[in-house]
Structure 1
Amino acid sequence: MSGLALIPGRNAVLALISLSAFMAVWFVIPASGLVSEQFLPGPGAVFSRALHLITEPFAGATLPGHLLSSLGRFLGGFLLAALIGVPLGLMMGWFPTVDAIAAPLLDALRFIAPIAWVPFAALWFGTGIGGPIMIIFAGAFPPCVINAWQGAKRVDIRLIEAARMLGTSHFGMITRVIMPASIPSIIAGLRISAGLGWQSLVGAELIVASTGVGFMMVQAQANIATPTVVAGMVSIGIIGLIIDILLRRLERAVTQGK
Protein backbone atom coordinates (compact mmCIF):
# COMPACT_ATOMS: atom_id res chain seq x y z
CA MET A 1 0.00 0.00 0.00
CA SER A 2 1.37 3.40 -0.95
CA GLY A 3 2.02 6.05 1.64
CA LEU A 4 -0.52 8.38 0.02
CA ALA A 5 -3.26 5.84 0.63
CA LEU A 6 -2.71 6.23 4.37
CA ILE A 7 -3.33 10.00 4.40
CA PRO A 8 -6.63 10.65 6.23
CA GLY A 9 -9.27 12.15 3.97
CA ARG A 10 -7.20 11.66 0.81
CA ASN A 11 -10.14 10.29 -1.15
CA ALA A 12 -12.31 13.23 -0.10
CA VAL A 13 -9.60 15.68 -1.21
CA LEU A 14 -9.23 13.97 -4.59
CA ALA A 15 -13.00 13.99 -5.07
CA LEU A 16 -13.12 17.71 -4.23
CA ILE A 17 -10.30 18.46 -6.71
CA SER A 18 -12.04 16.46 -9.42
CA LEU A 19 -15.38 18.18 -8.83
CA SER A 20 -13.76 21.62 -8.74
CA ALA A 21 -11.95 20.97 -12.03
CA PHE A 22 -15.20 19.85 -13.66
CA MET A 23 -17.06 22.92 -12.43
CA ALA A 24 -14.24 25.20 -13.64
CA VAL A 25 -14.32 23.70 -17.14
CA TRP A 26 -18.11 23.92 -17.18
CA PHE A 27 -17.92 27.60 -16.19
CA VAL A 28 -15.20 28.52 -18.68
CA ILE A 29 -16.72 26.93 -21.81
CA PRO A 30 -19.93 29.01 -21.98
CA ALA A 31 -18.30 32.10 -20.42
CA SER A 32 -15.59 32.13 -23.11
CA GLY A 33 -18.12 32.01 -25.92
CA LEU A 34 -16.88 28.67 -27.25
CA VAL A 35 -20.42 27.37 -26.85
CA SER A 36 -23.51 29.53 -26.70
CA GLU A 37 -25.21 29.63 -23.30
CA GLN A 38 -28.42 28.79 -25.13
CA PHE A 39 -26.98 25.30 -25.67
CA LEU A 40 -24.73 24.99 -22.59
CA PRO A 41 -25.72 27.31 -19.73
CA GLY A 42 -23.16 27.92 -17.01
CA PRO A 43 -23.37 26.54 -13.47
CA GLY A 44 -24.78 29.80 -12.13
CA ALA A 45 -27.68 29.83 -14.58
CA VAL A 46 -28.47 26.19 -13.89
CA PHE A 47 -28.32 26.67 -10.13
CA SER A 48 -30.57 29.71 -10.35
CA ARG A 49 -33.04 27.83 -12.52
CA ALA A 50 -33.05 24.85 -10.15
CA LEU A 51 -33.88 27.15 -7.22
CA HIS A 52 -36.70 28.65 -9.25
CA LEU A 53 -38.07 25.20 -10.13
CA ILE A 54 -38.26 24.24 -6.46
CA THR A 55 -41.14 26.67 -5.92
CA GLU A 56 -42.44 27.43 -9.44
CA PRO A 57 -44.16 24.66 -11.43
CA PHE A 58 -42.89 23.66 -14.87
CA ALA A 59 -44.70 21.11 -17.04
CA GLY A 60 -47.36 20.67 -14.39
CA ALA A 61 -45.25 20.38 -11.23
CA THR A 62 -42.31 21.77 -9.31
CA LEU A 63 -38.94 20.04 -9.45
CA PRO A 64 -39.54 18.23 -6.11
CA GLY A 65 -42.94 17.13 -7.44
CA HIS A 66 -41.38 15.68 -10.59
CA LEU A 67 -38.70 13.98 -8.51
CA LEU A 68 -41.31 12.40 -6.24
CA SER A 69 -43.17 11.07 -9.28
CA SER A 70 -39.93 9.60 -10.63
CA LEU A 71 -39.00 8.07 -7.29
CA GLY A 72 -42.46 6.52 -6.95
CA ARG A 73 -42.12 4.81 -10.33
CA PHE A 74 -38.56 3.76 -9.55
CA LEU A 75 -39.49 2.20 -6.23
CA GLY A 76 -42.41 0.35 -7.82
CA GLY A 77 -40.28 -1.22 -10.56
CA PHE A 78 -37.22 -1.80 -8.38
CA LEU A 79 -39.10 -3.44 -5.52
CA LEU A 80 -41.05 -5.62 -7.94
CA ALA A 81 -37.79 -6.73 -9.54
CA ALA A 82 -36.25 -7.50 -6.14
CA LEU A 83 -39.30 -9.33 -4.78
CA ILE A 84 -39.45 -11.60 -7.84
CA GLY A 85 -35.79 -11.71 -8.89
CA VAL A 86 -34.11 -12.55 -5.56
CA PRO A 87 -36.31 -15.57 -4.70
CA LEU A 88 -36.08 -16.79 -8.30
CA GLY A 89 -32.28 -16.52 -8.22
CA LEU A 90 -32.08 -18.44 -4.94
CA MET A 91 -34.36 -21.15 -6.29
CA MET A 92 -32.29 -21.40 -9.48
CA GLY A 93 -29.19 -21.79 -7.36
CA TRP A 94 -30.70 -24.56 -5.27
CA PHE A 95 -32.99 -26.45 -7.66
CA PRO A 96 -31.27 -27.61 -10.89
CA THR A 97 -34.65 -28.08 -12.55
CA VAL A 98 -35.66 -24.47 -11.93
CA ASP A 99 -32.27 -23.37 -13.22
CA ALA A 100 -32.67 -25.41 -16.39
CA ILE A 101 -36.11 -23.95 -17.04
CA ALA A 102 -35.47 -20.30 -16.18
CA ALA A 103 -31.86 -19.77 -17.30
CA PRO A 104 -32.45 -19.81 -21.08
CA LEU A 105 -35.30 -17.32 -20.82
CA LEU A 106 -33.31 -15.05 -18.50
CA ASP A 107 -30.27 -15.21 -20.78
CA ALA A 108 -32.45 -14.10 -23.69
CA LEU A 109 -34.20 -11.29 -21.83
CA ARG A 110 -31.17 -9.78 -20.09
CA PHE A 111 -29.57 -8.82 -23.42
CA ILE A 112 -32.63 -6.79 -24.45
CA ALA A 113 -32.07 -3.14 -23.53
CA PRO A 114 -34.83 -1.84 -21.22
CA ILE A 115 -35.50 1.04 -23.63
CA ALA A 116 -36.45 -1.56 -26.27
CA TRP A 117 -39.60 -2.27 -24.22
CA VAL A 118 -40.80 1.32 -24.59
CA PRO A 119 -43.05 0.67 -27.65
CA PHE A 120 -44.82 -2.16 -25.82
CA ALA A 121 -45.09 -0.09 -22.65
CA ALA A 122 -46.65 2.78 -24.61
CA LEU A 123 -49.11 0.44 -26.36
CA TRP A 124 -50.10 -1.48 -23.23
CA PHE A 125 -50.14 1.27 -20.60
CA GLY A 126 -50.10 4.62 -22.41
CA THR A 127 -48.73 7.33 -20.16
CA GLY A 128 -49.89 5.64 -16.95
CA ILE A 129 -47.61 4.38 -14.21
CA GLY A 130 -47.56 0.84 -15.59
CA GLY A 131 -45.34 1.65 -18.57
CA PRO A 132 -42.39 3.14 -16.66
CA ILE A 133 -42.64 0.42 -13.99
CA MET A 134 -42.46 -2.23 -16.72
CA ILE A 135 -39.33 -0.63 -18.21
CA ILE A 136 -37.67 -0.20 -14.80
CA PHE A 137 -38.46 -3.82 -14.02
CA ALA A 138 -36.85 -4.90 -17.31
CA GLY A 139 -33.63 -3.13 -16.34
CA ALA A 140 -33.56 -4.05 -12.65
CA PHE A 141 -34.69 -7.68 -12.80
CA PRO A 142 -31.64 -9.50 -14.32
CA PRO A 143 -29.04 -8.29 -11.76
CA CYS A 144 -31.33 -9.35 -8.89
CA VAL A 145 -31.65 -12.86 -10.30
CA ILE A 146 -28.01 -13.29 -11.34
CA ASN A 147 -26.46 -12.13 -8.07
CA ALA A 148 -28.88 -14.16 -5.95
CA TRP A 149 -28.07 -17.20 -8.11
CA GLN A 150 -24.32 -16.61 -7.74
CA GLY A 151 -24.70 -16.17 -3.98
CA ALA A 152 -26.61 -19.45 -3.71
CA LYS A 153 -23.97 -21.28 -5.73
CA ARG A 154 -21.16 -20.02 -3.50
CA VAL A 155 -22.62 -21.10 -0.17
CA ASP A 156 -20.15 -23.14 1.88
CA ILE A 157 -20.90 -26.82 1.23
CA ARG A 158 -20.25 -27.56 4.91
CA LEU A 159 -23.25 -25.42 5.89
CA ILE A 160 -25.43 -27.29 3.42
CA GLU A 161 -24.24 -30.70 4.60
CA ALA A 162 -24.82 -29.76 8.24
CA ALA A 163 -28.36 -28.61 7.43
CA ARG A 164 -29.02 -31.84 5.55
CA MET A 165 -27.86 -33.91 8.51
CA LEU A 166 -30.42 -32.07 10.64
CA GLY A 167 -33.16 -32.99 8.17
CA THR A 168 -33.81 -29.45 6.93
CA SER A 169 -36.47 -29.22 4.22
CA HIS A 170 -35.91 -27.54 0.86
CA PHE A 171 -37.84 -24.48 2.02
CA GLY A 172 -35.87 -24.35 5.25
CA MET A 173 -32.62 -24.80 3.35
CA ILE A 174 -33.36 -21.76 1.20
CA THR A 175 -34.65 -19.52 3.99
CA ARG A 176 -32.28 -20.55 6.80
CA VAL A 177 -29.06 -21.43 4.97
CA ILE A 178 -28.91 -20.28 1.35
CA MET A 179 -30.47 -16.84 1.71
CA PRO A 180 -28.55 -15.69 4.83
CA ALA A 181 -25.26 -16.84 3.31
CA SER A 182 -26.10 -15.09 0.02
CA ILE A 183 -27.01 -11.70 1.48
CA PRO A 184 -23.74 -9.89 0.53
CA SER A 185 -24.12 -11.05 -3.07
CA ILE A 186 -27.82 -10.16 -3.08
CA ILE A 187 -27.17 -6.63 -1.85
CA ALA A 188 -24.41 -6.16 -4.44
CA GLY A 189 -26.95 -7.19 -7.05
CA LEU A 190 -29.51 -4.75 -5.68
CA ARG A 191 -26.97 -1.95 -6.03
CA ILE A 192 -26.41 -2.79 -9.70
CA SER A 193 -30.15 -3.24 -10.14
CA ALA A 194 -30.91 0.17 -8.64
CA GLY A 195 -28.47 1.89 -10.99
CA LEU A 196 -29.90 0.23 -14.07
CA GLY A 197 -33.45 0.79 -12.88
CA TRP A 198 -32.88 4.51 -12.29
CA GLN A 199 -31.32 4.90 -15.75
CA SER A 200 -34.20 2.97 -17.30
CA LEU A 201 -36.70 5.21 -15.52
CA VAL A 202 -35.33 8.37 -17.10
CA GLY A 203 -35.45 6.77 -20.55
CA ALA A 204 -39.03 5.68 -19.94
CA GLU A 205 -40.13 9.12 -18.79
CA LEU A 206 -38.76 10.69 -21.95
CA ILE A 207 -41.44 8.81 -23.89
CA VAL A 208 -44.18 7.18 -21.80
CA ALA A 209 -44.90 9.53 -18.90
CA SER A 210 -46.83 12.73 -18.22
CA THR A 211 -44.89 13.66 -15.05
CA GLY A 212 -41.39 13.06 -13.71
CA VAL A 213 -37.95 14.51 -14.29
CA GLY A 214 -37.59 12.90 -17.72
CA PHE A 215 -40.93 14.34 -18.82
CA MET A 216 -39.92 17.76 -17.48
CA MET A 217 -36.70 17.62 -19.52
CA VAL A 218 -38.59 16.73 -22.73
CA GLN A 219 -40.94 19.67 -22.23
CA ALA A 220 -38.00 21.96 -21.51
CA GLN A 221 -36.20 20.78 -24.65
CA ALA A 222 -39.30 21.50 -26.73
CA ASN A 223 -39.33 25.05 -25.32
CA ILE A 224 -35.54 25.44 -25.71
CA ALA A 225 -35.28 25.94 -21.95
CA THR A 226 -31.77 24.53 -21.69
CA PRO A 227 -31.14 25.53 -18.04
CA THR A 228 -34.20 23.49 -17.09
CA VAL A 229 -32.88 20.50 -19.05
CA VAL A 230 -29.50 20.68 -17.32
CA ALA A 231 -31.14 21.22 -13.92
CA GLY A 232 -33.09 18.00 -14.53
CA MET A 233 -29.89 16.16 -15.49
CA VAL A 234 -28.12 17.34 -12.35
CA SER A 235 -31.10 16.30 -10.21
CA ILE A 236 -31.09 12.86 -11.79
CA GLY A 237 -27.39 12.46 -11.05
CA ILE A 238 -27.74 13.61 -7.44
CA ILE A 239 -30.67 11.30 -6.69
CA GLY A 240 -28.91 8.38 -8.35
CA LEU A 241 -25.79 9.07 -6.29
CA ILE A 242 -27.82 9.18 -3.06
CA ILE A 243 -29.46 5.83 -3.90
CA ASP A 244 -26.06 4.28 -4.60
CA ILE A 245 -24.54 5.68 -1.40
CA LEU A 246 -27.38 4.23 0.68
CA LEU A 247 -26.99 0.80 -0.90
CA ARG A 248 -23.20 0.92 -0.54
CA ARG A 249 -23.57 1.65 3.16
CA LEU A 250 -26.01 -1.24 3.47
CA GLU A 251 -23.58 -3.49 1.59
CA ARG A 252 -20.68 -2.40 3.83
CA ALA A 253 -22.71 -2.92 6.99
CA VAL A 254 -23.75 -6.43 5.94
CA THR A 255 -20.25 -7.37 4.81
CA GLN A 256 -18.65 -6.14 8.03
CA GLY A 257 -21.37 -7.84 10.02
CA LYS A 258 -20.45 -11.12 8.40
Structure 2
Amino acid sequence: MDPRLKHSQLAWMSAAGLLFFFGLWTFAAWVELAPRRFLPLPWEVLERGVRLLAEPFSGQTLQAHLAASIERYLRGFLLAAAVGVPLGLLMGWYRWLDNVITPLFDSLRFIAPIAWVPFAALWFGTGVGGPTLIIFAGAFPPCLINAYRGARYVERKYIEAAQVLGASGPRIIYEVLLPASLPSTIAGLRVSAGAGWQSLIGAELIAANSGIGLMMVRAQGALDTSIVMVGMIAVGVFGLLIDVALRGVEGWVQHRRGR
Protein backbone atom coordinates (compact mmCIF):
# COMPACT_ATOMS: atom_id res chain seq x y z
CA MET A 1 0.00 0.00 0.00
CA ASP A 2 1.18 3.51 -0.81
CA PRO A 3 2.37 5.11 2.48
CA ARG A 4 0.62 8.36 1.54
CA LEU A 5 -2.67 6.50 1.10
CA LYS A 6 -2.18 4.76 4.44
CA HIS A 7 -1.52 8.08 6.18
CA SER A 8 -4.59 9.56 4.49
CA GLN A 9 -6.75 6.70 5.75
CA LEU A 10 -5.38 7.12 9.27
CA ALA A 11 -6.11 10.85 9.15
CA TRP A 12 -9.70 10.21 8.06
CA MET A 13 -10.17 7.60 10.80
CA SER A 14 -8.81 10.02 13.41
CA ALA A 15 -11.11 12.77 12.15
CA ALA A 16 -14.07 10.39 12.24
CA GLY A 17 -13.25 9.47 15.84
CA LEU A 18 -13.13 13.14 16.85
CA LEU A 19 -16.40 13.88 15.06
CA PHE A 20 -18.07 10.95 16.80
CA PHE A 21 -16.83 12.12 20.20
CA PHE A 22 -17.95 15.72 19.75
CA GLY A 23 -21.24 14.56 18.23
CA LEU A 24 -21.92 12.34 21.22
CA TRP A 25 -20.97 15.18 23.59
CA THR A 26 -23.28 17.60 21.76
CA PHE A 27 -26.16 15.14 21.82
CA ALA A 28 -25.72 14.41 25.54
CA ALA A 29 -25.62 18.12 26.37
CA TRP A 30 -28.50 18.98 24.03
CA VAL A 31 -30.90 16.44 25.56
CA GLU A 32 -29.59 17.41 29.01
CA LEU A 33 -28.51 14.01 30.24
CA ALA A 34 -26.94 16.17 32.94
CA PRO A 35 -27.88 19.76 33.84
CA ARG A 36 -26.40 22.25 31.36
CA ARG A 37 -24.43 23.79 34.22
CA PHE A 38 -22.47 20.56 34.57
CA LEU A 39 -22.42 19.49 30.90
CA PRO A 40 -22.11 22.53 28.62
CA LEU A 41 -22.18 22.32 24.84
CA PRO A 42 -18.82 22.13 23.02
CA TRP A 43 -19.10 25.61 21.53
CA GLU A 44 -19.88 27.02 24.97
CA VAL A 45 -16.63 25.54 26.25
CA LEU A 46 -14.79 26.94 23.21
CA GLU A 47 -16.28 30.38 23.81
CA ARG A 48 -15.23 30.28 27.45
CA GLY A 49 -11.70 29.23 26.47
CA VAL A 50 -11.41 32.20 24.10
CA ARG A 51 -12.64 34.54 26.84
CA LEU A 52 -10.06 33.11 29.28
CA LEU A 53 -7.29 34.20 26.91
CA ALA A 54 -8.14 37.82 27.80
CA GLU A 55 -10.12 37.62 31.06
CA PRO A 56 -8.14 36.42 34.13
CA PHE A 57 -9.52 33.61 36.25
CA SER A 58 -7.99 32.95 39.65
CA GLY A 59 -5.59 35.82 39.07
CA GLN A 60 -4.24 34.88 35.62
CA THR A 61 -5.29 34.28 32.04
CA LEU A 62 -5.39 30.81 30.51
CA GLN A 63 -2.05 31.20 28.76
CA ALA A 64 -0.41 32.46 31.97
CA HIS A 65 -1.68 29.43 33.90
CA LEU A 66 -0.47 27.14 31.12
CA ALA A 67 2.94 28.83 31.04
CA ALA A 68 3.30 28.33 34.79
CA SER A 69 2.41 24.65 34.42
CA ILE A 70 4.86 24.15 31.55
CA GLU A 71 7.67 25.82 33.51
CA ARG A 72 7.12 23.50 36.48
CA TYR A 73 6.81 20.50 34.20
CA LEU A 74 10.04 21.16 32.32
CA ARG A 75 11.92 21.68 35.57
CA GLY A 76 10.83 18.33 37.00
CA PHE A 77 11.00 16.35 33.75
CA LEU A 78 14.46 17.59 32.74
CA LEU A 79 15.76 16.88 36.23
CA ALA A 80 14.35 13.34 36.04
CA ALA A 81 15.97 12.78 32.63
CA ALA A 82 19.29 14.29 33.74
CA VAL A 83 19.44 11.95 36.75
CA GLY A 84 17.59 8.88 35.48
CA VAL A 85 19.28 8.30 32.12
CA PRO A 86 22.92 8.50 33.31
CA LEU A 87 22.12 6.49 36.43
CA GLY A 88 20.39 3.80 34.36
CA LEU A 89 23.40 3.54 32.05
CA LEU A 90 25.79 3.33 35.00
CA MET A 91 23.69 0.62 36.63
CA GLY A 92 23.67 -1.29 33.35
CA TRP A 93 27.47 -1.29 33.27
CA TYR A 94 28.53 -1.48 36.93
CA ARG A 95 26.99 -4.53 38.58
CA TRP A 96 27.85 -3.35 42.09
CA LEU A 97 25.95 -0.09 41.54
CA ASP A 98 22.98 -2.08 40.22
CA ASN A 99 23.00 -4.19 43.39
CA VAL A 100 23.13 -1.09 45.61
CA ILE A 101 20.46 1.01 43.83
CA THR A 102 17.91 -1.59 42.67
CA PRO A 103 16.47 -2.63 46.07
CA LEU A 104 15.88 1.00 47.08
CA PHE A 105 14.56 1.96 43.65
CA ASP A 106 12.19 -1.00 43.50
CA SER A 107 10.82 -0.01 46.90
CA LEU A 108 10.16 3.60 45.92
CA ARG A 109 9.03 3.38 42.30
CA PHE A 110 5.68 1.82 43.19
CA ILE A 111 4.72 4.81 45.33
CA ALA A 112 2.26 6.87 43.29
CA PRO A 113 3.53 10.41 42.60
CA ILE A 114 0.37 11.85 44.17
CA ALA A 115 1.38 10.16 47.45
CA TRP A 116 4.33 12.59 47.63
CA VAL A 117 1.98 15.58 47.69
CA PRO A 118 1.68 15.79 51.52
CA PHE A 119 5.46 15.71 51.92
CA ALA A 120 5.96 18.21 49.11
CA ALA A 121 3.42 20.58 50.67
CA LEU A 122 5.01 20.26 54.12
CA TRP A 123 8.60 20.60 52.92
CA PHE A 124 8.21 23.23 50.20
CA GLY A 125 4.72 24.73 50.53
CA THR A 126 3.44 26.10 47.22
CA GLY A 127 6.88 27.16 46.02
CA VAL A 128 9.10 25.71 43.33
CA GLY A 129 10.29 22.62 45.15
CA GLY A 130 6.95 20.89 45.82
CA PRO A 131 5.66 20.46 42.26
CA THR A 132 9.20 19.71 41.05
CA LEU A 133 9.47 16.84 43.53
CA ILE A 134 6.11 15.38 42.49
CA ILE A 135 6.88 15.63 38.76
CA PHE A 136 10.30 14.10 39.37
CA ALA A 137 8.68 11.21 41.26
CA GLY A 138 6.45 10.48 38.28
CA ALA A 139 8.99 10.97 35.50
CA PHE A 140 12.12 9.44 37.04
CA PRO A 141 11.32 5.67 37.03
CA PRO A 142 10.70 5.27 33.25
CA CYS A 143 13.90 7.21 32.47
CA LEU A 144 16.02 4.97 34.66
CA ILE A 145 14.36 1.67 33.75
CA ASN A 146 14.59 2.10 29.98
CA ALA A 147 18.15 3.42 30.04
CA TYR A 148 19.11 0.49 32.26
CA ARG A 149 17.44 -2.07 30.00
CA GLY A 150 19.00 -0.52 26.93
CA ALA A 151 22.46 -0.72 28.48
CA ARG A 152 22.01 -4.26 29.79
CA TYR A 153 20.94 -5.68 26.43
CA VAL A 154 23.63 -4.13 24.25
CA GLU A 155 25.20 -6.83 22.08
CA ARG A 156 28.32 -8.14 23.76
CA LYS A 157 30.40 -7.98 20.59
CA TYR A 158 30.32 -4.17 20.59
CA ILE A 159 31.56 -4.01 24.16
CA GLU A 160 34.29 -6.56 23.48
CA ALA A 161 35.41 -4.66 20.40
CA ALA A 162 35.69 -1.46 22.43
CA GLN A 163 37.65 -3.26 25.15
CA VAL A 164 40.04 -4.72 22.57
CA LEU A 165 40.69 -1.19 21.33
CA GLY A 166 41.55 -0.15 24.88
CA ALA A 167 38.39 1.77 25.84
CA SER A 168 37.87 2.29 29.56
CA GLY A 169 34.59 1.92 31.47
CA PRO A 170 33.44 5.58 31.20
CA ARG A 171 34.37 5.70 27.53
CA ILE A 172 32.44 2.49 26.82
CA ILE A 173 29.40 3.96 28.55
CA TYR A 174 29.60 7.16 26.48
CA GLU A 175 30.59 5.73 23.09
CA VAL A 176 28.98 2.25 23.14
CA LEU A 177 26.20 1.92 25.71
CA LEU A 178 24.64 5.36 25.19
CA PRO A 179 24.31 5.16 21.37
CA ALA A 180 23.21 1.50 21.45
CA SER A 181 20.58 2.11 24.14
CA LEU A 182 19.26 5.33 22.56
CA PRO A 183 16.01 3.84 21.13
CA SER A 184 15.12 2.31 24.49
CA THR A 185 16.08 5.51 26.30
CA ILE A 186 13.90 7.69 24.06
CA ALA A 187 11.00 5.27 24.46
CA GLY A 188 11.46 5.69 28.20
CA LEU A 189 11.47 9.46 27.84
CA ARG A 190 8.10 9.27 26.03
CA VAL A 191 6.59 7.33 28.93
CA SER A 192 8.33 9.63 31.40
CA ALA A 193 7.03 12.76 29.69
CA GLY A 194 3.43 11.58 29.97
CA ALA A 195 3.82 10.43 33.57
CA GLY A 196 5.46 13.73 34.53
CA TRP A 197 2.72 15.81 32.91
CA GLN A 198 0.01 13.81 34.69
CA SER A 199 1.90 14.16 37.97
CA LEU A 200 2.11 17.93 37.48
CA ILE A 201 -1.65 18.34 37.22
CA GLY A 202 -2.14 16.25 40.35
CA ALA A 203 0.41 18.40 42.17
CA GLU A 204 -1.22 21.64 41.10
CA LEU A 205 -4.59 20.49 42.37
CA ILE A 206 -3.14 20.53 45.88
CA ALA A 207 0.23 22.27 46.13
CA ALA A 208 0.49 25.26 43.79
CA ASN A 209 -0.53 28.91 43.61
CA SER A 210 -0.91 29.02 39.81
CA GLY A 211 -1.21 26.67 36.85
CA ILE A 212 -3.85 24.71 34.95
CA GLY A 213 -4.50 22.35 37.86
CA LEU A 214 -5.16 25.23 40.23
CA MET A 215 -7.43 26.87 37.67
CA MET A 216 -9.45 23.66 37.39
CA VAL A 217 -9.85 23.16 41.13
CA ARG A 218 -10.88 26.80 41.61
CA ALA A 219 -13.42 26.42 38.80
CA GLN A 220 -14.75 23.28 40.48
CA GLY A 221 -15.26 25.28 43.68
CA ALA A 222 -17.13 27.92 41.67
CA LEU A 223 -19.24 25.20 39.94
CA ASP A 224 -17.99 26.46 36.56
CA THR A 225 -17.77 23.26 34.52
CA SER A 226 -16.83 25.04 31.29
CA ILE A 227 -13.55 26.28 32.80
CA VAL A 228 -12.81 22.79 34.13
CA MET A 229 -13.30 21.44 30.60
CA VAL A 230 -11.12 24.18 29.12
CA GLY A 231 -8.37 23.12 31.52
CA MET A 232 -8.79 19.45 30.61
CA ILE A 233 -8.59 20.24 26.90
CA ALA A 234 -5.47 22.38 27.43
CA VAL A 235 -3.86 19.56 29.41
CA GLY A 236 -4.72 17.00 26.73
CA VAL A 237 -3.55 19.12 23.80
CA PHE A 238 -0.22 20.00 25.36
CA GLY A 239 0.35 16.39 26.43
CA LEU A 240 -0.34 15.30 22.84
CA LEU A 241 2.17 17.85 21.53
CA ILE A 242 4.83 16.51 23.89
CA ASP A 243 4.22 12.95 22.72
CA VAL A 244 4.22 13.93 19.05
CA ALA A 245 7.55 15.72 19.48
CA LEU A 246 9.15 12.74 21.22
CA ARG A 247 7.70 10.34 18.64
CA GLY A 248 9.36 12.46 15.98
CA VAL A 249 12.69 12.19 17.79
CA GLU A 250 12.20 8.44 18.23
CA GLY A 251 11.42 7.99 14.52
CA TRP A 252 14.44 10.06 13.52
CA VAL A 253 16.73 7.96 15.75
CA GLN A 254 15.35 4.70 14.35
CA HIS A 255 15.74 5.99 10.80
CA ARG A 256 19.35 6.98 11.45
CA ARG A 257 20.13 3.60 13.00
CA GLY A 258 18.43 1.75 10.15
CA ARG A 259 20.33 3.74 7.57
Q: Structure 2 length as normaliser, TM-score?
A: 0.97
Query: What SS does the corresponding residue of 2:97 show, helix, strand or coil?
Result: helix
Q: Hey, what does 1:204 align to over in structure 2?
A: 203
Task: Report the CA distance shift for 1:209/1:8 in structure 2 as closer, same or farther (over 3 A).
Answer: closer
Q: Distance in 2 between matches of 1:47 and 1:188?
A: 34
Aligned partner of 2:121 in structure 1 is 122
Deviations, residues 16-62 of structure 1 (Å, cap 9, x unaligned): 00000000001111111211111111101100000000111111110
Give how far 1:207 is off. 0.1
State how far apart, in whole Å, the 2-side matches of 1:82 and 1:201 are. Answer: 16
Equivalent position SS for 1:55: coil
Q: Equivalent residues in 2 for 1:1-258 (5 A)?
A: 7-258=6-257
Q: How far off its partner does 1:148 sit?
A: 0.1
Query: How many equivalent pairs are there?
Result: 257
Distance of 1:183 and 1:75 partners within structure 2: 21
User: 1:209 is matched by which residue type in structure 2?
Assistant: A
**Superposed CA RMSD:** 1.4
Instruction: List runs of 5+ in structure 2 lacking aligned partners.
Output: none
Give 1:110 shift. 1.0
Counterpart amino acid of residue 106 in structure 1? F
Q: Distance in 1 between matches of 2:72 and 2:220?
A: 22
Equivalents in 2 of 1:55, 1:183: separation in Å?
A: 43
Q: Is the 8 A contact 1:77 1:137 kept in 2?
A: yes
Q: CA deviation at 1:178?
A: 0.5
SS in 2 for 1:250: helix
- Quickly say closer, same or farther: Cα 1:186–1:7, change in 2 above 3 A: closer
Whole-angstrom distance in 2 between the partners of 1:12 and 1:108:
43
Offset of residue 129 of structure 1: 1.5
Distance 1:201 1:37 in 2: 29
Paired letter, 2:34:
V
Secondary structure of the equivalent of 2:167?
A: coil
Deviation digits for residues 70-124 of structure 1, max 9, x if unmatched? 0000000000000000000000100000100011111111110000000000000
SS of structure 2 residue aligned to 1:9: helix
In percent, how many aligned pairs have the same letter?
Answer: 53
Alpha-carbon separation, structure 2, partners of 1:22 and 1:186 = 34
